[in-house]
Amino acid sequence: MVEIYADAFAQYEADNFLEAIDSFRLLCAHEPLEGKFWFGLAASLQEAKDYDGALQAWAVTSLLKPSDPYPHFHAAECYLSLQNPTEAAKALNEAAPRADAPLEEKITLLREQWSLL
């Protein structure tokens, strides 16, 4: 699994998102409770512009890593890409209480940019 994860991450870093998606799906199937595998799958799907698929993977990631604000933040990005500001605002509201300072700035910028205050 370590080698597959390293390969999946390398594929993601090289912008080979379809290959990364395949590898992360394999990892998620073999270890479905490992949050970092779902995070990698969600990020790869989002970069491949499969926003609906990414939203599903971000949802699983948020369940496996409940204190992590990033799955909610990235879900908001997906919702904005899908032109759904209402759901994006909900996702940002979930991320905000858990966010560190750098993420708080990103949340504020997205809210201002999309008038989600």
pLDDT tens-digit series, residues 64-114: 999 999 999 999 999 999 999 999 999 999 999 999 999 999 999 999 999
Output b/e per residue, 66-98; b: 16+ Cβ within 10 A. eeebbbbbbbbbbbbeeebbeebbbbbeebbee
Same domain, 72 and 113: yes
Same domain, 35 and 76: no
Cα separation of 60 and 66, whole Å? Answer: 10
What sections of 1-117 are H helices per DSSP?
2-13, 17-30, 35-47, 51-64, 70-81, 85-95, 101-113
User: Six-digit token pair at 68?
Assistant: 């992590």
In a domain, residue 44? The reply is: yes
* pLDDT attached to residue 116: 85
Domain with 21, as residue range(s), is: 1-48
* pLDDT attached to residue 117: 66
Average pLDDT estimate for 32-54: 98
Same domain, 41 and 83: no
The whole-model pTM stands at 0.95
In a domain, residue 10? The reply is: yes
Q: How many domains does the chain have?
A: 2
In a domain, residue 18? The reply is: yes
